[in-house]
C-alpha cells in the first residue's frame, strides 16, 4: 500500500487543507474598487456566517479523535490479558523508575525481591483454590495481584498474608551468603532493604500482610495497628504512607462495622490451635527480620570529597 493510500493520512491532509483555506485570502488589488460583502437580505447590513467553512475542519478532527479513542479503548481492554505486559513489562517500568534514585543494579535487585514476595501470595492463593493473577508492578507503590477472594475464612486469609513475607524473607536471606562471599555491599544493602520491606508489611493493619494475619488472631489489633501506622506517617511523612493510611482506614472501618454480622462471625471463627500457629509464624517472622536487618546493616561513610 502506497503512502497516499492510507485513509488516516488522506483524512489528515484534507483537514489541514480545510484549515489552511480559512486563512488564505486573495491578494489585495488597490487599483480595483473593493466590493462589500452582499447582505443576507437586501438592506439588512448583516454578513453571511459560513457555518460549513467553520465547522468542516472540526468535523474532520472529531472523526480522527473518535478513531483514536476507539483504538485506545480496545488497547485498554486487551492490556490485562497480555501477561507479558502485566508482569515483565511493569517490572521493566519499575526498574527504570527506581533507577532514577538508586541506579539500575540496585533497582533491578529491589524489583526481584518484590517479585519473590508477591509470588508467595500467588502460590498460597492457588493452594487455597483461588485463581490469582501474576504480579503487576507499580513504581513507588510496590506490586499487586488480583484475586476474587483471599480464601474461605480468616485462617486462609492469614496464610495468604503471611506467605508473602515468608517467601520474601527466604529470598532476601539468600543474599547474605552472596554478600559475604563477594564482599559486595550492594547485596548487603539489598538484603537490608528486603528485610525492612517484609517487616513493614507485617504491621498489623489492613491492607498490609500483618493485617491479613490479624484476621485469624484478633480483629481488634487492627485498631492498634492503624494507630501505629498514623504515628509512622507523622514521623516519616510521604505520599505512600498517606495512601496506605487512607486505604487501611477505609478497609479497617468497613470490616469493623461488619464484624458482628452472621457472615463475618462465621468467617472469623478460628480454632485456638490455629490461632497459636498463626501467632508463632507472625512473631517468629518479626524476630528473624529484625535480626536480619541488624546483620546486614551497612554504616554509610562519606569522604571528604
Q: Rounded CA gap, 141 and 44, in Å?
A: 67
Q: Rounded CA gap, 298 and 163, in Å?
A: 28
Q: What is the pLDDT of residue 177?
A: 94
| Greater pLDDT, 305 or 282 | 282
pLDDT tens digits for range 171-199: 999 999 999 999 889 999 999 999 999 99
Query: What's the pLDDT band for 219 if we cut at 50, 70, 90?
Result: confident
227, 211 Cβ separation under 8 angstroms: no
pLDDT tens digits for range 199-216: 999 988 888 899 899 888
pLDDT mean across residues, the chain? 76
**DSSP assignments along 24-69, one per residue:** --PPP-TTSPPPPPPPSSTTT-PPP--HHHHHHHHHHHHHHHHHHH
Long-range contact pairs involving 74-83 (C-beta distance under 8 Å, separation at least 24): 83/134
> Residue range 75-92: average pLDDT?
62
The torsion angle over the Cα atoms of residues 66, 72, 74 and 75, rounded to 10 degrees, is 170
Q: Largest alpha-carbon pair distance within the chain?
A: 106
191, 179 Cβ separation under 8 angstroms: yes
Domain ranges of the chain: 1-18+52-81, 102-296
Q: What is the pLDDT of residue 160?
A: 93
Q: What is the pLDDT of residue 4?
A: 42
Containing H/E element for 99?
Answer: helix 90-102
pLDDT tens digits for range 224-251: 888 888 888 888 777 777 877 888 788 8
Q: Rounded CA gap, 47 and 78, in Å?
A: 52
| Greater pLDDT, 20 or 166 | 166
Eight-state DSSP code of residue 298: -
C-alpha cell at 212: 491479613
C-alpha cell at 142: 510496590
Q: What is the pLDDT of residue 276?
A: 92
The torsion angle over the Cα atoms of residues 162, 166, 169 and 174, rounded to 10 degrees, is -160
pLDDT tens digits for range 101-125: 889 999 999 999 999 999 999 999 9
Amino acid at each position: 500500500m502506497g503512502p497516499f493510500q492510507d485513509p488516516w493520512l488522506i483524512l489528515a491532509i484534507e483537514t489541514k487543507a480545510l484549515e489552511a483555506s480559512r486563512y488564505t485570502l486573495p491578494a489585495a488589488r488597490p487599483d480595483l474598487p473593493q466590493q462589500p460583502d452582499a447582505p443576507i437580505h437586501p438592506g439588512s447590513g448583516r454578513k453571511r456566517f459560513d457555518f460549513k467553512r467553520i465547522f468542516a475542519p472540526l468535523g474532520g478532527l472529531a472523526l480522527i479523535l473518535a478513531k483514536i479513542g476507539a483504538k485506545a479503548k480496545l488497547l485498554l481492554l486487551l492490556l490485562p490479558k497480555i501477561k507479558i505486559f502485566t508482569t515483565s513489562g511493569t517490572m521493566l517500568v519499575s526498574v527504570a523508575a527506581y533507577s532514577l534514585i538508586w541506579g539500575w543494579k540496585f533497582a533491578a535487585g529491589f524489583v526481584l525481591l518484590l517479585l519473590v514476595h508477591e509470588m508467595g501470595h500467588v502460590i498460597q492463593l492457588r493452594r487455597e483454590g483461588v485463581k490469582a493473577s501474576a504480579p503487576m508492578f507499580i513504581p513507588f507503590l510496590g506490586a499487586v495481584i488480583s484475586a476474587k477472594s483471599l480464601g474461605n475464612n480468616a485462617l486462609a486469609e492469614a496464610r495468604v498474608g503471611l506467605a508473602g513475607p515468608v517467601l520474601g524473607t527466604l529470598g532476601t536471606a539468600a543474599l547474605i551468603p552472596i554478600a559475604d562471599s563477594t564482599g559486595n555491599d550492594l547485596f548487603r544493602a539489598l538484603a537490608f532493604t528486603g528485610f525492612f520491606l517484609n517487616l513493614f508489611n507485617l504491621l498489623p493493619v489492613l491492607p498490609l500482610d500483618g493485617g491479613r494475619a490479624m484476621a485469624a488472631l484478633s480483629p481488634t489489633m487492627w485498631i492498634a495497628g492503624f494507630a501505629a501506622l498514623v504515628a509512622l506517617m507523622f514521623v516519616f511523612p510521604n505520599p505512600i504512607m498517606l495512601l496506605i493510611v487512607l486505604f487501611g482506614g477505609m478497609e479497617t472501618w468497613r470490616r469493623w462495622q461488619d464484624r458482628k454480622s452472621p457472615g463475618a462471625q462465621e468467617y472469623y471463627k478460628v480454632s485456638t490451635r490455629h490461632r497459636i500457629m498463626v501467632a508463632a509464624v507472625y512473631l517468629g517472622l518479626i524476630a528473624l527480620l529484625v535480626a536480619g536487618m541488624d546483620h546486614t546493616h551497612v554504616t554509610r561513610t562519606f569522604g571528604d570529597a
